[in-house]
Structure 1
Amino acid sequence: MTAPRLPGTLVTFEGPGGVGKTTITKLVAELLDTDGVPVHATIQPSRAPLGELARHGTDTYRDMTLACLCAADRHHQLATEIRPALAEGKVVLCDRYVASSLVLQGMDDIPLDVVWALNHGVYRPDLVCTLSSAPAEIEQRLRTRGGHSRFERAPGSSFRETYGYLAATTFLRDQGWPVQVVDCADDPQATAGTIIDLIHRTRTETSVCP
């Protein structure tokens, strides 16, 4: 059974490590706040103990262990943080969500359908923004800043993630998820502005639907 929709709007940000998800999420939150829109920004894995275990444990936990950790953290965060904020009518911005699990656990050779099953029952976003850029540019940016996980530290990870997100985008669209691929401009403010327009359009469409 599909969970009932809540008054708020869930917007998720996906894309390869180093593409700019955290920066864009922060800018979008600031622009929404300036517009007087109630907003709650968060991240996955979460900042709860379970999420921190997954975030900092990619060298220790692998394969199904990590896949289960990430899924468990997501289900817990939905129950304790995301759904309550949506029930209050807020726009919830989430830096990484299910697509990231499909891609990263796929890099651990976990089949896509297994990852999808672990995430059964998660709340479907109102808008999925998949941030995209040239893999070579992302790779250079990632090497300059340093990898945050074993996935990001692996040579050629930006190329593998980029192709993984192409497959995840197709899969999620087939499941009825509203995915928009957003090319990252040189100016993050411009990218954030594009996403703000998508969010306002999504909120308008949602408000007129039964």
Structure 2
Amino acid sequence: MIAGRGLLVAIEGPGGVGKSTVTALVARLLGAEGVPVLATREPTDTALGNLARHGTDDYQGEAMACLVAADRFKHGETIQPALERGDVVVCDRYIASSLALQCMDGVDREFVWLLNERQVQPDLTVMVSGDPEVIEARLTARGAHSRYERAEDSSLVECAYFAEAGKFLRGKGHRVLDLDATETPAEEVARLTVAAITRLRKDPTDAGRVDVQPQQPVPGARGATAPVPGAAAGAGARAHGDGAQRGV
């Protein structure tokens, strides 16, 4: 564990890449290894979180950015005790979502960061991305959940904003793991994520690294490839990829 506590792992990416599935699988895999884990999501399942989740048509711009940040501060009251217990907290959407979606909503990135720099910071951000056309097809089949997803070329735009969010977080010293889920099953994305988490738990010296990369090249993966100890070939991982997400 890092600094004698648990780890906060944020699973990020655009709508349609399967973040919720990956989050559940990561929690299940960690639990099977006997690791204490808390799976959670944002917006939270509280009155405040539900207001943000279902209020994308009513709240926009800075108002939405503040609403999401308020929900995150409240969420921190659950996250912090779990970290102090030594749990691995796996969160479906977190700060990168705000840096993508709220900026996509016209809010200045520095203002979004100001709202989030005092939040509990993630130890690892996993950017799950994919080909925008593939993501768009999945969204069409699934149905849009918010106005962000109903916007024209939403997947293409989200991917671009998530790419910028990843770069921004790296600039702040955050660890970012980019995984391409275009053709990679959610189970493999989850396994690569667990491998990265395992390495961070076992080797505190990794605390100074900004990028966590897989270690085995992956056939057919787009962009640079890499893997974490124990990762099998067959899953895409990009060292400096372009993730995106639906941030509320």
Same fold (TM over 0.5): yes
- 61, 65, 84: which one aligns with 2:63: 65
Separation in 2, partners of 1:160, 1:5? 37
Separation in 2, partners of 1:142, 1:6? 41
- Which secondary structure does the structure 1 equivalent of 2:203 belong to? helix
Structure 2, unaligned stretches of length 5 or more? 209-248
Separation in 2, partners of 1:6, 1:201? 15
Structure 1, unaligned stretches of length 5 or more? none
Say if 2:43 and 2:52, in contact at 8 Å, map to a contact too: yes
Once superposed, what is the RMSD of the aligned Cα atoms? 1.7
Structure 1 segments of 4+ aligned residues over 6 angstroms from their partners: 207-210
- 76, 79, 97: which one aligns with 1:82: 79
Separation in 2, partners of 1:208, 1:175? 16
| Counterpart in the other structure of 2:173 | 176
- Which secondary structure does the structure 2 equivalent of 1:13 belong to? strand
Give, as a single letter, the amino acid of the residue that structure 2 aligns with 1:27. L
1:148 paired to 2:145: yes
- Which secondary structure does the structure 1 equivalent of 2:194 belong to? helix
Say if 1:78 and 1:123, in contact at 8 Å, map to a contact too: yes
For residues 57-95 of structure 1, what are the alpha-carbon distances to aligned partners after superposition, in whole Å with 9 as ceiling and x for unaligned?
00011111111000011011102x110111111000000
| Counterpart in the other structure of 1:202 | 200
Fraction of identical pairs, as percent: 47
Q: Select the structure that is richer in helix.
A: 1
Equivalent residue pairs, number: 206
Q: Which has the higher contact order (CA 8 A, sep 6+)?
A: 1
Give, as a single letter, the amino acid of the residue that structure 2 aligns with 1:121. R
- Relative to structure 1, is the Cα distance of residues 141 and 209 closer, same or farther in structure 2, using a 3 angstrom cutoff? closer
Q: CA deviation at 1:126?
A: 1.1
Q: CA deviation at 1:208?
A: 8.1
Output the TM-score relative to the length of structure 2. Answer: 0.80
Output the TM-score relative to the length of structure 1. Answer: 0.94
| Counterpart in the other structure of 1:33 | 31
